[in-house]
Copies of this chain bind each other. A is one copy, B any other.
Amino acid sequence: MSTNFNLKHLLGIRELSADQIVHLLDTAETFRDISKREIKKVPALRGRTVINLFFEASTRTRTSFEIAAKRLSADAVNISVSTSSVSKGETLLDTARNLQAMSPDCIVIRHSSAGAPYHLARACSAAIVNAGDGAHEHPTQALLDALTIREHKGRLEGLRVAIIGDILHSRVARSNIYLLSKLGASVSVAGPGTLVPAEFAGLIEQGVRLERRIEDAIVDADVVMILRMQRERQTDAFFPSMREYAVHYGLHLNHLSLAAPDAIVMHPGPMNRGIEISSEVADGGRSLILDQVTNGVAVRMAVLYLLAGAPGITEKPERQDVSDSTLRNGTVKKQRSRKRSLREEE
């Protein structure tokens, strides 16, 4: 495995190599322990500026990135851009250039338009992190999902993963399909509209198995991922009502009997209980939904650290963190053995 992590931005999983994904996951594993400490803080990004630029409301993702930045000692600045400010008339590129002129080290962007982070990346020398762009990608969600699977299954390769829900409009599904395919898992999907052939050409290329019925996708699955029914975006194109959706694509306990005996259940949140997932499943022993959230902070710490922090680690050799150097030079095995050495904040 390459230890040379050469990545300037995190725009999507599609552009990443399997090695880069594994390196991100390994780094995240290293950071997971920090949040379990009493002093949940390391000085890795001290003096760095991380801007959270959110054009869509998001409590949980923004909070996760903000906590990640602060636990790395970065200065975190939140910008919520409502449509009212956009009416002031500035283009996204001008917003990006202006923020860049304030010398941030990293800009985390969520935007309703697919591709918005790519625009930023062209205009900025700061590292750009895609926190969800339209129906395109949500790479840190896929990474935290993968970290959670690996934590519980020990691997991704060879696993069968079922993804249930509105695949076509889900950036979570898209990023997960890219990641799982790259790391050797096999993916089956079921949801409204999965029989529409044209839009799914790309999925089939990724080796994804399309099913019409949720049961067919779940059979023998090691992992069942339920997507959020995005009420707020839903048009009536594929199904007539919430109730209709719940009946056809809601995950219930009896579904799980079709899956592998030790199958795990995941959901990106926020959940619509009783619609895409029953409370028995959500709160059941197979559910890893809260582990996903915990791993989300670790993944975002890893992403911020690798993109915004790497070149600056050496500025104070006498106070340097052992694991900082292993993160840059060492092998993954070394990182793991030394992961407890990440120094606490002073």
**Chain A residues packing against B (C-beta within 8 Å):** 35-41, 46-49, 51, 57, 59-60, 63-64, 66-67, 70-71, 75, 77, 79, 81-82, 84-85, 87-91, 94-95, 97-105, 231-232, 269-273, 275, 290-294, 296-297, 311-312, 315-316, 319, 344-346
User: Which residues of chain B have C-beta atoms less than 8 A from A82's C-beta?
Assistant: 57
- Rounded to whole angstroms, the CA-CA distance of A49 and B67 in the bound complex is 8
| Interchain nearest-CB distance for A63 vs B (Å) | 6
Report the 9 A-B pairs with minimum CB-CB distance, sorted nearest first.
A39-B47, A90-B270, A101-B293, A41-B47, A38-B312, A70-B75, A35-B103, A101-B290, A89-B272
Please name 28 pairs of A and B residues whose Cβ atoms are closer than 8 Å in the assembled complex, sorted by A: A35-B102, A38-B47, A38-B48, A38-B311, A38-B315, A39-B315, A49-B70, A51-B63, A59-B81, A63-B99, A64-B102, A66-B77, A67-B75, A67-B102, A87-B232, A88-B232, A88-B270, A89-B231, A89-B272, A89-B275, A91-B273, A94-B269, A98-B269, A101-B292, A101-B293, A102-B296, A102-B297, A103-B297
Number of copies: 3
- Whether the Cβ atoms of B60 and A71 lie closer than 8 Å is no
Max count, chain B CB within 10 A of own CB: residue among A46, A82, A270, A294: A270
- Whether the Cβ atoms of B79 and A59 lie closer than 8 Å is yes
Closest to A291 in B: B101
User: Which residues of chain B have C-beta atoms less than 8 A from A67's C-beta?
Assistant: 49, 75, 77, 102, 104
- Whether the Cβ atoms of B36 and A40 lie closer than 8 Å is no
User: Which residues of chain B have C-beta atoms less than 8 A from A77's C-beta?
Assistant: 63, 66-67, 70
- Whether the Cβ atoms of A345 and B47 lie closer than 8 Å is yes
- Rounded to whole angstroms, the CA-CA distance of A346 and B345 in the bound complex is 11
- Whether the Cβ atoms of A103 and B57 lie closer than 8 Å is no
Max count, chain B CB within 10 A of own CB: residue among A66, A87, A291: A66
| Interchain nearest-CB distance for A61 vs B (Å) | 11
- Rounded to whole angstroms, the CA-CA distance of A181 and B69 in the bound complex is 44
Q: Apart from A39-B315, A102-B293, what 12 extra A-B contacts exist at CB < 8 Å?
A: A39-B312, A40-B48, A40-B49, A47-B345, A51-B63, A57-B82, A57-B84, A57-B85, A70-B75, A90-B269, A98-B293, A101-B292
Q: A60-B98, A231-B89, A270-B88 are in contact. Are A103 and B40 (CB under 8 A)?
A: yes
- Whether the Cβ atoms of A290 and B87 lie closer than 8 Å is no
- Rounded to whole angstroms, the CA-CA distance of A214 and B36 in the bound complex is 54
User: Which residues of chain B have C-beta atoms less than 8 A from A102's C-beta?
Assistant: 35, 63-64, 67, 293-294, 296-297
- Rounded to whole angstroms, the CA-CA distance of A37 and B79 in the bound complex is 23
User: Which residues of chain B have C-beta atoms less than 8 A from A87's C-beta?
Assistant: 231-232
- Rounded to whole angstroms, the CA-CA distance of A40 and B271 in the bound complex is 40
Contact of A46 among B41, B57, B293 (CB under 8 A): B41
- Rounded to whole angstroms, the CA-CA distance of A99 and B293 in the bound complex is 8
User: Which residues of chain B have C-beta atoms less than 8 A from A315's C-beta?
Assistant: 38-39, 344
| Interchain nearest-CB distance for A148 vs B (Å) | 11
- Whether the Cβ atoms of A271 and B94 lie closer than 8 Å is yes
User: Which residues of chain B have C-beta atoms less than 8 A from A273's C-beta?
Assistant: 91, 94
- Rounded to whole angstroms, the CA-CA distance of A315 and B90 in the bound complex is 44
- Whether the Cβ atoms of B47 and A290 lie closer than 8 Å is no
